[in-house]
Amino acid sequence: MIHQLIFAHPKPGMSEEEFQRYWLEVHAPNYASKIKQIRKYAVDTRIPLDGDGEDPLWSGIAEIWLNNDEEQLASLQSPEFLQGARLDEPNWAAFWRTLVLDTEAHVLRPGPGTARPAGAKLFVLAKRAAGTPLADFRARSLDAHAKLALEVPGLVRYVQGFTRDGAYAIGEATLDVAYQLSFESEEALRTALASPEYAALEQDLAEFVETRYIHRMAVRQHWFIGSESAND
């Protein structure tokens, strides 16, 4: 299954609050949710963290699950997308600041398998260190790095989403992975970020990625189609 991540930023003149409200109340229910090929769909709204700055790269993330490449192509050719979701995007999103990652999810801690609207999730995006073979990077992520992640206090679900192989067909992908750490609450997330276990995780990450390309974003997850499960 394809787990697509779309990172979006408000259009000029729109506040982050207005952007998030439009996405949750207009775009997601009236347009994106109508695309028949989408199997699961969640919208994540940013939780401000220290160091985010006044103009963070993104203010929300769409998480979209599709069965395969054929259904993804069909979704992009559907009237629900072309005459609905696509036409609505300029009303709220700055398309030139959008990042799209198609990933293959590796679920290393499944969690309870239910939607948790009050929960919190941390995305850590990274690019492997120059000269590192992609297979070696993925192997280290899934082994030594994952073991450290699973020690982070309060972690209820952990997913490593690797950029799909097709993104490397004619060159390098923008980013190689989206690490996803889920917690029962925003308070639990902040407690985890202050822990020595999380510090050890960050230290390990810096040893095998390009640190200038690390991006972190904390979010609240809002489900529109389906729910969280190990079936990613």
What is the tens place of the pLDDT at every residue in 35-84?
999 999 999 999 999 888 889 999 999 999 999 999 999 999 999 999 99
Query: Which residues, 6+ apart, have CB-to-CB distance to 58 below 8 Å?
Result: 7, 8, 9, 46, 97, 99, 217
Q: Which of 9, 13, 95 is nearest to 52 (CA)?
A: 9
State phi, psi for 24 to the nearest 5 degrees: -75, -35
Q: In angstroms, rounded to a whole number, what is the distance separating the alpha carbons of residues 199 and 205? A: 10
**What pLDDT, in 10s, does the model give residues 189-228?**
999 999 999 999 999 999 999 999 999 999 999 999 998 7
Q: Kindly report the number of other CB atoms within 10 A of residue 143's CB atom.
A: 9
Q: Is residue 154 predicted with pLDDT exceeding 60?
A: yes
Say which DSSP state 113 is in: S
Name every residue whose Cβ is closer than 8 Å to that of residue 45 and which is 6 or more positions away in sequence: 20, 23, 24, 59, 60, 219, 220, 222
CATH classification number, 2-225, choose in 3.30.70.100, 3.40.50.300, 3.40.190.10, 3.40.30.10: 3.30.70.100
Cα separations in angstroms, 204 against 61, 144, 150: 26, 9, 13
Residue 230 pLDDT class (50, 70, 90 cuts): very low
Instruction: For 73-97, write each residue's pLDDT tens digit.
Output: 999 999 999 999 999 999 999 999 9
Helix (H) or strand (E) holding 118: none
pLDDT tens for 101-151 read 999 999 999 987 554 555 899 999 999 999 999 999 999 999 999 999 999
Q: Give tens-digit pLDDT for 8-30.
A: 999 999 999 999 999 999 999 99
Residue 195: C-alpha distances to residues 50, 140, 141, 153 (Å): 15, 22, 20, 8
Instruction: Check residue 131 and give its pLDDT.
Output: 95
Query: Which amino acid belongs to residue 16?
Result: E
